[in-house]
Amino acid sequence: MLEREVVRFQFRSSICLTLIPLLTYLYLPATIFASKCSINGFQLVKNISELPQSNYGREGLSHITVAGSLIHGTKEIEVWLQSFAPASHTPIHRHSSEEVFVVLKGSGTLYLASDSDSHGRYPGHPKAFPIFANSTFVVPVNEVHQVWNSNNNEDLQVLVIISRPPIKVFIYEDWLMPHTAAKLKYPYYWDEQCFDSPEKDEL
């Protein structure tokens, strides 16, 4: 009787030892994918320092999606935490969404096309606005703009809130490039890994 129980125990143990690695192999990739690109299983309260960050191939940038449409399932807004090393900057660009910046640290320059130029054939010569810690500014829908860290001594860190995600960005090579020649980048760099199909654009 004891020998039979020992045999049964050994059989069960061998099944467990076979199934556990197999289940781990099947479940782990799904878990990793879900943790990046699924609204299921996210903690309500998260530590920002533990969220994924990357430069997405853009030198001098550090980007964290604090709350995102494709990652977290937000519908109306998206929130980013971004740092720009000295002399780094965003591309010259526009998008069909409002954008709010809160400067947390450092200083730099906001370049914004004037109203008349934004609605002309090309952006033209932008206006320059100094930005600094504790400053905030709003970029209206489809206004061509660029943010520079023009401080040589420290990073520029900003909190960015954007409407109507996921973002569709039109990128300009320079301020005299016609609006019709601006290149659409969609999905944007930090949305690429979670992008499935085009979202309906209401505009």
pLDDT of residue 37: 76
**Backbone dihedral angles phi then psi of residue 4, each to the nearest 5 degrees:** -65, -45
Amino acid at 143: E
pLDDT of residue 118: 55
Summary mean pLDDT of the chain = 84
- Output b/e per residue, 82-110; b: 16+ Cβ within 10 A: bbbbbebbbebbbbebbbbbebeebbbbb
pLDDT computed for residue 13 by the predictor: 53
Return the H-helix or E-strand segment holding 104.
Answer: strand 99-105
Give the pLDDT of residue 3.
58
Is the link from the previous residue into 187 a cis peptide, with omega within 30 of 0?
yes
Alpha-carbon distances, residue 120 vs 1, 23, 173, 178 (angstroms): 92, 59, 17, 9
107-151 pLDDT per residue, tens: 999 999 976 555 689 999 999 999 999 999 999 999 999 999 999
pTM of the shown model: 0.77
Residue whose C-alpha is closest to residue 66's, from 83, 49, 86: 49
Residue among 111, 102, 112, 105 at smallest CA distance from 85:
105
Q: How far is CA 198 from CA 63, 71, 102, 146, 185, in A?
A: 23, 15, 29, 26, 13
Neighbours of 175 (CB within 10 A): 16
Instruction: Please report the pLDDT score of residue 8 as a whole number.
Output: 55
Spans of the chain, pLDDT less than 70: 1-36, 38-42, 115-119, 197-203
